[in-house]
């Protein structure tokens, strides 16, 4: 439980009320990301949202390179990064099974892992030196959602080309930023899923309509019942190995030739 003094200090740090700077550092981070995401008008796909997240995360933290790790079945993938060297470093983590993005995604706890000197970090004997050879000397990763129920969506990964290059980043800020990013990602996924369902529904309606037209033509020209007309379409579709909707569309578009 946070005491009153700590809460006031955190509140003052979150929002700086001086005249020249009405929003504190953390508030500005969220405002920056929120404004960037909103420019998509609420219609961005998941990839576009992730692209915005990594570039804003790099700018507001001062990291040299930022990437996103997402779960991919039983493994991981890096769908976006600000520099391809991040994908190379992430891939080493996936292959060796060690490193901050793996730990932040799969391990319990707060969902944060990092190193100020990768070349000499004994925790990651394979990943650390390999990352240093790529020119990346410090790193941290925050799980999305940090501190939440398992499994997490993935992790935000921050790299610096300098030893101790990320020591200035506040851990609490990083965890809050990861939560904000996870909410944005889930929102984009929900919109994308809704748009897919809408597209599928529209396609189903169009298919039903064109099949109805073809049935009507057969009923009129051959004196069939509705069920007989549908069975004729279905049987012909199977015999010719043509989708029922495509067969119906061909029939409806060439009714004058029948």
Nearest to 148 by CA among 112, 192, 94: 112
What confidence tier does 1 reach under pLDDT thresholds 50, 70, 90? very low
Nearest to 142 by CA among 173, 183, 101, 170: 101
Shared domain check, 246 and 180: no
What is the tally of structural domains in the chain?
2
**CB-count burial class (<10 Å; 0-12, 13-18, 19+) for 111:** buried
Shared domain check, 211 and 129: no
What's the chain's length in residues?
258
157 close to 100: Cβ distance less than 8 angstroms = yes
pLDDT reported for residue 19: 38
Least confident of 21-25, 91-95, 203-207: 21-25
CATH number at residue 249: 1.10.10.10
Whether residue 222 is predicted with pLDDT greater than 70 in this model: the reply is yes
Cβ neighbours of residue 125 closer than 8 Å, sequence gap 6 or more: 98
Nearest to 179 by CA among 142, 207, 128: 142
**CB-count burial class (<10 Å; 0-12, 13-18, 19+) for 185:** buried
Which of 192, 209, 226 delimits the end of a domain? 192
Shared domain check, 152 and 42: yes
Which of 161, 192, 223 delimits the end of a domain? 192
Q: What is the pTM of this model?
A: 0.61
Which of 192, 213, 248 delimits the end of a domain? 192
Instruction: State pLDDT tens for residues 33-70.
Output: 666 555 554 455 667 777 887 888 888 788 999 998 88
Domain assignment of residue 74, given as a range: 4-192
Q: In whole angstroms, what separates CA 86 from the centre of its chain?
A: 17
pLDDT reported for residue 11: 54
Shared domain check, 126 and 228: no
- Taking residues 119-140, what's their average pLDDT? 95
- Taking residues 77-86, what's their average pLDDT? 90
Distance CA 68, CA 105 (A): 11
Shared domain check, 106 and 139: yes
Distance CA 244, CA 235 (A): 9
- Taking residues 165-169, what's their average pLDDT? 88
């Amino acid at each position: 439980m946070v005491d009153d003094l700590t809460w006031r200090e955190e509140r003052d740090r979150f929002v700086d009320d001086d005249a020249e700077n009405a929003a504190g550092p953390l508030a500005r981070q969220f405002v920056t990301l929120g404004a960037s995401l909103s420019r998509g008008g609420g219609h961005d796909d998941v990839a576009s949202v992730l692209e915005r997240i990594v570039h804003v995360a790099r700018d507001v933290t001062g990291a040299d390179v930022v990437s996103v790790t997402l779960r991919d079945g039983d493994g991981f993938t890096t769908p976006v990064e600000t520099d391809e060297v991040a994908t190379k470093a992430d891939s080493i983590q996936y292959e060796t099974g060690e490193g901050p993005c793996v730990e932040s995604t799969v391990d319990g706890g707060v969902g944060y892992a990092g190193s100020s000197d990768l070349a000499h970090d004994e925790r990651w004997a394979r990943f650390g030196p390999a990352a240093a050879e790529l020119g990346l000397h410090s790193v941290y990763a925050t799980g999305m959602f940090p501190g939440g129920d398992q499994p997490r969506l993935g992790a935000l990964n921050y790299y610096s080309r300098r030893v101790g290059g990320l020591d200035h980043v506040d851990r609490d800020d990083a965890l809050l930023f990861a939560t904000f990013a996870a909410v944005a990602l889930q929102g984009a996924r929900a919109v994308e899923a809704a748009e897919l369902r809408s597209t599928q529904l529209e396609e189903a309606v169009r298919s039903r309509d064109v099949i109805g037209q073809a049935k009507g033509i057969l009923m009129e020209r051959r004196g069939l019942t509705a069920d007989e007309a549908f069975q004729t379409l279905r049987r012909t579709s199977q015999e010719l190995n043509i989708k029922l909707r495509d067969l119906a569309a061909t029939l409806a578009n060439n009714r004058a030739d029948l």
